Structure 1
Amino acid sequence: MGRIKNTETFALRLCHCCGFDLGMAEPTQVNWPDEESRSIMCGLLNILDGDDWSGRLPSLCSPLSFFYGLRILLGAIGGRNGEKVRVSLSARLGFKIEAEPNLDFEYQSTKARFNLLTAGLWLVSDWPLRFVEVFHEAGFTRSRFSDNLHSHPYWLYVQVALNLDTRPYLPSDPEIAAAANFLVASKIAVTTESLGGLMGIKSDLARRAVVNWKANRSRSDNTQSDG
């Protein structure tokens, strides 16, 4: 405790279990899905050798934002809800993407991490078009993505919120009141059908909106009469 520990540079090449020199491992030839994702991967690896962050990916302002969002994206692909996403990506990229759903990215096998990272970089290399297409095809919704969406980097958050949110639109009381007042001014009865048609909402939501509008209107009338 309190001692300075110096780790020799070459030690990073050694397996922490058996001491094998990883630089002597037989390389695996990789068929990249496209040149853009390959270029991004090489750029990320070059950062480890001291290169500067290029920041050339769209909508990304900092490396911290990128890597934080990328880890979340890879977690969604490799997680328990990502099976259909993995199938869709495997069909597009030409190699099978497998992962242990209960393990975070850094605890996956080397091959699983590499394939997940390749798939993630392929998605962000044409962001957000590929992301939206793949996740829509897999039926992957906002609720399956994360429980803490608002804490995610903006570049990822905004695409999930805009494209994967399947929750029905719930109009606010002022919106309902404005629509109902328009119908009244147009001499149209405020009903489930008329309000729902005007606001473009389903009948169950329109029925609830009519009930709420009538209740709010009644309270307003009572307040005025008391005054």
Structure 2
Amino acid sequence: MIVYFKNTLTRKNLMALTGLFLSFFLIIHLLGNLQLLLPEEQARLQYNWYSNFLSTNILVEIIAYVLYGCILAHTIDAIYLRIKSKKANGPRLQYNRRSRASTWYSRNMMFLGIIIFLFLVIHFKDFWYAYKYGGQLPFDENGYKDLYSLVVTAFGELWYVLLYSLAFLALGFHLLHGVFSAHRSLGVYHSFYSRLIKILSLVFAIVITLGYLIIPITIYCKS
């Protein structure tokens, strides 16, 4: 098993590992964002304290840089493997039966990834950059930057809620195939574990997608 793993430590393995790390981050980020659903004043104070803690804690800052590196590595590896796959496959055949053996989202992981990446660029600009370098955010009564108001204002716009929803639906399908295939890339081929991981991947994708979607939709309905 050790020899097998060493011999297959490739870009595909790296993409699997970065993908699983990003999946773990999604859980942590969701737990923090669920604070937005608390009663307004409690949500404002608690979410702003939480945001300040994340931006000032040195350990969290180090993890954040690992996160940024994983996002870039995952994206670059995906592009590399896509190009390599296209070169290996050569010209497309006129009649392609792959759709009978695979799901549409597994065949369109690159397209789903592009939607997610473009959303991340917008999301980082609107929230992370505005919080860290914008310099125009007001402060709450505890003296923390009022990121809560910025988020609620954004989710009060229908176009942003629709954009957010589209991105997380794309993410859900991306996770549905990605989490399962990541374990296959890392060498989990046993029939029992494969079935179990497939079920867990489905549950994980649904919970993460619905968990993130409920936040902007609830805030928009309240506004």
Relative to the length of structure 1, the TM-score reads 0.23
Relative to the length of structure 2, the TM-score reads 0.23
User: Per chain length, whose mean CA-contact separation is higher, i.e. which structure has more relative contact order (CA < 8 Å, sep 6+)?
Assistant: 2
